[in-house]
Every structure is written in structure tokens, then in C-alpha cells.
Structure 1
Amino acid sequence: MSNSIFITGGSGYIGQHIIDQLINDGNKVIAIVRSETSGKKLQSLFSSSLTTEIIPDLLASYSLKSLFEKYPNVTTFINTAAIINFTSQDLEYEVINPNINLIKNILTQIKTSNINKVILTSSSAAMVGPDKAFGISGDYSDSDWSPLNFEMGKINANMAYFASKKFTEEEAWKIAKDAKFDLISICPALVLGPKFDANEEGTPSTTSIIAEILKLNKDDSIPEFAAGAVDVRDVAKIHSLAIKDGDFKGNRVLLEVGKAINQNMINVIKANFKELKDKLPDCESVPENYIGKPNDEKSKKIYKIQLRSIDESVKDLVSQLIEKK
């Protein structure tokens, strides 16, 4: 039996993969977009399988009222929309507060609609601070909340991103407490893997670390980088699973398959792409026994599927980037 589903943020890297997964699983998808241009872009990718509706400003009062009246039988809402601005000069008023207000406005309207399930695309940034997110250690769990407070979020753009993820999710759970809808929070770590639209220019922001690796030459020094990561296709799959699987209800679900480490990713690329073997720097991979893993047993019991390896995510994205040249 198919479901009809609203989704925001469908034009983005994760959003496109989620829409594809939902459609492949037999669902009817209504993507809420900000402009006619965004709508046409999605329609070109998914044709008649997708309906698009233009809402220029989700922060506006009653922005969703007409949609809920037009589609009274839609009972699931996936929110992947977020405000990200790494060049902001006013982090409080251009990043943190707008994200909090966005989810507040969306969920407050949903409370008076027929929606009975909300899936929030959050982030592991809501569970940890940058020190643990960008590190080889895995000393955290899927029950944790980021230690960042509001003032810490105003230090720089990276801290504002992390803080906004925490405060946005906290606001969502606060509203859901006395609402009739069930809330599910999907919290992926750094998202890697191929673009849905291989012809799209550039690379999504989270995958730019791979694009930067490909620019290195034999004698270049290797930038230090390590972060928990997960494949975008698995993020999409788990959003779809959450619609029908009751185990997701009322839970925060951490998605992290391992650590994306520059040295390790370089060696994966060199081993799988002969044209890059002699171009990229030589280095030793970080041994598996040095790499920490988060306590995510609760999340694994909920989503139940085997996640793709980071090696697979890297290989599939590099294949796209090489073909595009």
C-alpha cells in the first residue's frame, strides 16, 4: 500500500536521493520547493513520478496551510530543509535563529493538520560537538546531545552549524511532546557517496573533501581530516524504512558506518583507480584498531540494515568525478 509524502529540501544532495528511494518504494511524493526553477529541476529528474508545490518562504505564517487543505490524505512529512550559511556575519540571526524558527513554524502548522508522522533529517552534529565529530575517536552514543550552548554557537560558522542542529532538534522534540504526530529524527554523520544527478555541476558540500583529495599531487602534504561518515543512499533508504517500521517511532537514529580519514581514502582511491595511483601522495592508512566507534547499538536495532562501507562511498563518488572530467 503506497503512502503520499510531503518532503522539503528535495532539491539538495540528500533530498534527491530520498525522493528517488521513496518513489522506488512505491510512494507518491510531493516536493515542497522554493521556486519554479527548483521545481523544474526536480521534475526533469523524476518526471511524472513526482509532484512539486512552490512555497517561497517556509518561515512565513500559514505557509503550509493551503497544501494541507489541497492534500488532506497526506499523513507523512519529511523535513530535510535547513538554512546553512558559512559566510554569515551574524550567526545568531542568520543561521541559528532561522533554523529554530523554521522547524517551529513547520511543526506548529503540522499540529493542526492530518499529518501523523514527521521525519526530521537532523545530524550527528545534534549529538556531538565538532571535537568528536571530526576525530578518530568514537567516544559518544546515539543517546547523547551536543554540549554546545547558544554562546558557543556564535563563535564561528562551523560552531553555528553544529549548534543550530542541536537547537533545531530540541525544538522539534519540544513541540512533538503534546502533538498527535509521531516524530522520528534521523541523524547522519558526514554524508558521502555519489550525486543522484551525475550531470550536476560541482560536488555537494559534504563530498568536497573527496574532490579536494583528487587535486593532490605526489609531493603534496595531506591535510588532516577525520570524521564519522555514512553513504547518502543509506540515509535515503532509512528515511523510507522509517515511514512503515514502527520501531522508528519516537526515536533518534544515528547513522555512522565508520570514519572517513584522508589517508585511508587516498589509499582506497589509489587501489581502485590506476590513473590516480601515481598521482596521489603515498601514505599509511590509519589501522582499524586505532579508530573509535560510537555506541550506536540502539540505532542499529531500529534500522536493521547493513550500511555501505566508506570505501564503497568513496569509489562511487570518485567514479562520477572522473567521468565528469
Structure 2
Amino acid sequence: MVKVLLTGGSGFIAAHIVDILLQHGFDTVFTVRSDDKGKRILENHPGTPKEKLSYVIVKDVAQDGAFDEAVKSDPPFDYVLHTASPFHFNVQDPVKDFLDPAIKGTTGILKAIKAYAPTVKRVVITSSFAAIINPKQNVKLYSEKVWNPVTWEEAMDHSNVYRASKTFAEKAAWDFVEKEKPNFDIATINPPLVFGPIVHYLNSLEALNTSNQRFRNLIQGQFKEQIPPTGTFLYVDVRDVALAHVRAIEVSEAGGKRFFITAGFFSNKEIVEAARKTHSELESKLPAKDAPSDFPSDIYEIDNSRSKEILGIKYRSFTETVADTISSLQDVGA
């Protein structure tokens, strides 16, 4: 059977990837930072034999040699999906908290695979629209061709550090393949804001992925007086992101390519209106129907055709994403 290593197995996207890997018949080993998280994932896949699903512990992805043991396997791995990377706004030290873990985690696993897992054919890396967006220029069309031009100096500003970490980590991966000429190729998955149902056994209302926090706030009535600024006007459903990772190892043409994974545009006002349609019980917590939208009239265009043509992704509708996200949060007490 084909065997896959998935890093950061307890993350929001990765937890959905586990389900799709198993559905598609892959033997799956995931990394976690603790036994507790590893056991929790296994317990929620009862009846799955250990040769189909198991875990290894990697405590700190930024440490030298962090993945050296994780990539060794008998039978050996065929593919690696690397999703482990920090994303939070509690930044004390930009280099230590964000840049090092993102960059060293990515180059570290590539080095480990080259040295200890010669059977690996492809590594799929979770990057981000953060590595594409260019706030310095008036970009008319966003696609995989565009790169964020952020500099190391700009990354020291806390407001830039997340985008910089994703940009530098992805560039480091492409540079590694070009210079080191390993036996594997890479593909990157570049989603914007990732919405969608949480994995209830791993997530609490206090530990939501950052993108989904706006749904919790809406359910709790925090949009009633004023709809907050949308920020990034692009979204994608987590289940489509997860499928894109798996398709990127199944489709040979995916090698050597970036994939801009987005379902399209949205605004926080549109979340409100979708919630009004799908969850009428929230009406008393929602703002008036004539509340203004902040969606800009002159927004850029997007080209996500590569994800559809090569990976075969058929994106979920915005209404489905909103409905399922709200329902999953209600299930854990929102």
C-alpha cells in the first residue's frame, strides 16, 4: 500500500486531511507534539487498524533534526504532506515565534527526507495566499504567478510576520529542491482564509483556527451592533483544502507547481446573510438586513483554474461552508 507521512496532524486542515487520506486508501502516519493529541485522533477513528493510522511525536519542528526519526519507516514512505507551521497573533519575538519554526520546519523536513527517506516521490507543503498577496502594488489579477515581495526587515513588524513566515518558508522549499536536487519534487497549496467545520475532538471554542473565530463571534452576537471589517476578501472551505493536498499526491502533473486554492470572494456581511438563511434561530443576534457591506467595488480578480484543471477541485458553495461551520460550532457549545 501507498504510505503517507502527514506533519502537524492535530491542526485544523490536517485533521480533515487524515479523513481524506483514509477514505482514499492511504496508510497514514501523522506527527503530533504529544501522546495526548495522538491518542485523541486514533480514538476518533475506531476500527482503523494501526498499520492504516498511527502517529509519531515531533515536539519542536524548528529544532535541528526534528524530523530525522519521523521520516524513517518500514515499510517506507511514498509521500509527505507538510502542514505543520505556526499561525497565531501572540507574537513576542518574530524570529523565534514565527520565522524560525516556519522556515526551519520546512527546510528541516526536506533535509530529513533527502537523507533518510529516499523512497519519497513528492512533498506537498501547506503554504498560503499570504505568500502570494502583494500589498505594495495594485495587483489586478492574483494567481500562482504572484509572490509577496515582503523583506526580512519588514517581517520584524508584528503585523507582517505571519505573511513573511509563509513567504520565506515556501521560497526556502523551492530553493532547496533547485539546489539540492533530491529524489522528490514538491507542490505547494496556497489557501486564503480557511473556513469550514471544526473537528470537534481536537478544537474548542477557545482554540479555534483564526479564520473561524469570526463565526464564533457572529453566533455570540458580536456582529449585532456593527459588522467588523472583513480583512481578506477571499475564502475556501477546509474540506476543499484538505482534498487539494491529497489530490496533489495522486495527480502526477501536480509536481513542481503552486496551487492557489480559493473558492472566491466573500465579505462578513455575506456571512451574516448566509447565516440568516441557514440558521434562522440566530436572527436576534444578527445585525439589520440593511447593515452596510465593506466589499470594495474595485477589487482584484483571481485565477484558480489550475486547482480545478489539474487537481479536479470542485469548490463548495459559500452557503454550504457557512452552514456547516456554524453547525459545527454549535455542536461544541457556541
Deviation at 1:17, TM superposition (A): 0.1
**Is the 2:40–2:201 Cα contact (8 Å) retained in structure 1?**
no
Match of 2:97 in 1: 94
Match of 1:28 in 2: 27
Deviation readout 1:286-322 (Å, 9 max, x if unpaired):
7898664312333332222210122211111111223
Q: Which range is displaced more, 165-174 or 258-267? A: 258-267
Match of 2:305 in 1: 297
Match of 1:210 in 2: 215
Deviation at 1:152, TM superposition (A): 1.2
User: In structure 1, the residue corresponding to 2:6 is in which secondary structure?
Assistant: strand
Structure 2 residue 131 is matched with structure 1 residue 126: yes
Gaps of 5+ in 1: none
Instruction: Figure out how many residues of one structure are paired with residues of the other and give that number.
Output: 320
**Is the 2:6–2:82 Cα contact (8 Å) retained in structure 1?**
yes
Match of 2:150 in 1: 148
Q: Could you say what the CA RMSD is over the residues aligned between the two structures, in angstroms?
A: 2.5
Match of 1:272 in 2: 278
- In structure 2, relative to structure 1, the CA distance for the partners of 1:200 and 1:164 (3 Å cut) is closer
Tell me the percent identity.
29
In 1: Cα distance, 2:228 partner to 2:151 partner: 29
Gaps of 5+ in 2: none
Deviation at 1:28, TM superposition (A): 0.7
**Code of the aligned partner of 1:315:** A
Match of 1:174 in 2: 175
- In structure 2, relative to structure 1, the CA distance for the partners of 1:130 and 1:31 (3 Å cut) is farther
- In structure 2, relative to structure 1, the CA distance for the partners of 1:131 and 1:37 (3 Å cut) is farther
**Code of the aligned partner of 1:143:** K
User: In structure 2, the residue corresponding to 1:230 is in which secondary structure?
Assistant: strand
Q: Which range is displaced more, 285-294 or 259-268? A: 285-294
- In structure 2, relative to structure 1, the CA distance for the partners of 1:287 and 1:223 (3 Å cut) is closer
**Is the 1:130–1:162 Cα contact (8 Å) retained in structure 2?**
no
Deviation at 1:21, TM superposition (A): 0.5
User: In structure 2, the residue corresponding to 1:10 is in which secondary structure?
Assistant: coil
Counting helix residues as a fraction of each chain, which structure ranks higher? Answer: 1
- In structure 2, relative to structure 1, the CA distance for the partners of 1:198 and 1:289 (3 Å cut) is farther
**Is the 1:264–1:284 Cα contact (8 Å) retained in structure 2?**
no
Q: Which range is displaced more, 100-109 or 38-47? A: 38-47
In 1: Cα distance, 2:156 partner to 2:222 partner: 36
Deviation readout 1:144-179 (Å, 9 max, x if unpaired):
1002111111111x4100000000000000111222
- In structure 2, relative to structure 1, the CA distance for the partners of 1:245 and 1:231 (3 Å cut) is same
**Is the 1:257–1:307 Cα contact (8 Å) retained in structure 2?**
yes
In 2: Cα distance, 1:218 partner to 1:51 partner: 41
User: In structure 1, the residue corresponding to 2:285 is in which secondary structure?
Assistant: coil
In 2: Cα distance, 1:286 partner to 1:96 partner: 32
- In structure 2, relative to structure 1, the CA distance for the partners of 1:25 and 1:138 (3 Å cut) is farther
Question: Aligned runs of 1:1-325 on 2, under 5 Å?
Answer: 2-47=1-46, 48=48, 49-112=52-115, 113-114=117-118, 115-129=120-134, 139-156=141-158, 158-177=159-178, 178-197=181-200, 200-202=203-205, 203-216=208-221, 220-227=225-232, 228-282=234-288, 283=291, 292-325=300-333
In 1: Cα distance, 2:14 partner to 2:223 partner: 36
Could you state the TM-score of these two structures normalised by the residue count of structure 2? 0.88
Deviation at 1:198, TM superposition (A): 6.3
User: In structure 1, the residue corresponding to 2:25 is in which secondary structure?
Assistant: coil
Could you state the TM-score of these two structures normalised by the residue count of structure 1? 0.90
